[in-house]
Amino acid sequence: MADQRAEQIIVKKRWNMARNWPLHFMLIPAVLFTVVFQYLPMAGLVIAFQDFKPWLGITGSKWVGLANFRFLFLYPDIQQVIWNTLVIAFFKIVAGLFAPLLFAVLLNEVRSMGFKRVSQTLVYLPHFLSWVILGGILLDILSPQGGMVNKLVIAFGGQPIFFLGDGDWFRFTLVFSDVWKEFGFGTIVFLASLAGINPALYEAAEVDGATRFKQTVHITIPALMPMAVVLATLSIGNILNAGFDQVFNLYNPLVYEKGDIIDTFVYRMGILNGKMSFATTVGLFKSVVATVLIVISYRLAYKIANYRVF
């Protein structure tokens, strides 16, 4: 009986494969792209264990074992760089979850469909702009000499603020501009969750005399909480990714102390200073820690919200 059951399963799998072969064929370009650009370059990680010299290549460079890792943990700036990364990433994650959730709840209360569509379109647009473009815009409007924002500050009796030259203000600028750029796109997830709420719940609450505010507090927000928990849990895996594109286009030597993150530090060490072995070591260290955090975050998402990818 067991052999017959196993044979039926095998036949069914073969039938599904024969039926869906066009879908599997369409995956080939994506698989090749991933192998060529994601997995083959990993062979270069051997540089982290060498005193790499570009003119000697990987095969000719001296093997130093874990010396680069010992140097990494003794490097005077590495602790500050890691701390900057964690702080910036943490506030981006928190604000990046709260802003789209709040906007989705507010948009859900709007009755005019035309206003809803226009609002959604306007807040989605910044997501499709690169940080190269937005970086130039922010440099212009945040300039302490003639920038639009500082003109408003002066008009209200304040002193000009060097948003991109003061470390504390630079962190605030990073978080605020990142949320402004991405919260509209992130709202899509919460709007999809709102679409799944049973309208009968609102009708029953209205019959019981619940106001719109109480309906929001006791129906809408609880319905969004599982998705918010999943997103917050999965964000743990990205705690070491504070946004290279954004920081690279906005930072300068004046804010290295509080604005330099792991990715920009690797860029400076490897590309600008030519310390390729050290830069690879930092990148490998970050990747290993991020992998562990991703595994933990998926396990937490499964335990807390019963979310699983496979």
* End-to-end Cα separation, the chain, in angstroms: 29
Q: Which range, 206-210, 235-239, 258-262, 299-303, has the best average confidence (pLDDT)?
A: 258-262
In this prediction, residue 9 carries a pLDDT of 61
pLDDT-based confidence at residue 32 (cuts at 50, 70, 90): very high
Each residue's pLDDT tens digit, 188-199:
888 888 888 888
Mean pLDDT along residues 113-118 = 83
1 has pLDDT over 60: no
In this prediction, residue 15 carries a pLDDT of 64
Ramachandran category for residue 243: left, alpha or beta (phi over 0 → left; psi -120 to 50 → alpha)? left
Answer whether 279's CB lies under 8 Å from 266's CB. Answer: yes
Distance CA 240, CA 90 (A): 9
What structural domains and CATH numbers belong to the chain?
2-46 (no CATH), 77-305 (1.10.3720.10)
> In the chain, count of helices (H) and strands (E)?
16, 2
Place of tokens 């990073």: 174
Give me Rg for the CA atoms of the chain. Answer: 25
Each residue's pLDDT tens digit, 97-113:
899 888 888 888 887 88
Higher pLDDT, 307 or 167: 167
**Range 70-105 burial, b when 16+ CB lie within 10 A, else e:** eebeeeeebeebbebbeebbebbbebbbebbbebbb
Each residue's pLDDT tens digit, 49-68:
888 888 888 888 888 888 88
pLDDT-based confidence at residue 42 (cuts at 50, 70, 90): confident
> E strands along the chain, which residues?
50-51, 62-63
Find all residues with CB under 8 Å of 180, minimum gap 6, and list them: 126
Distance CA 272, CA 28 (A): 37
Residue 161 CB-half CA count within 13 A:
20
Each residue's pLDDT tens digit, 119-129:
888 888 888 88
Higher pLDDT, 179 or 232: 179
In this prediction, residue 76 carries a pLDDT of 84
> Would you call 14 helix, strand, or coil by DSSP?
helix
Each residue's pLDDT tens digit, 200-240:
888 888 888 888 888 888 888 888 888 888 888 778 777 88
Structure tokens at 238: 């990205």
Mean pLDDT along residues 244-266 = 88
10 has pLDDT over 70: no
pLDDT-based confidence at residue 116 (cuts at 50, 70, 90): confident
**Would you say the pTM of this structure is higher than 0.85?**
no
> Would you call 62 helix, strand, or coil by DSSP?
strand
Task: Indicate the residue type of 113.
Answer: M
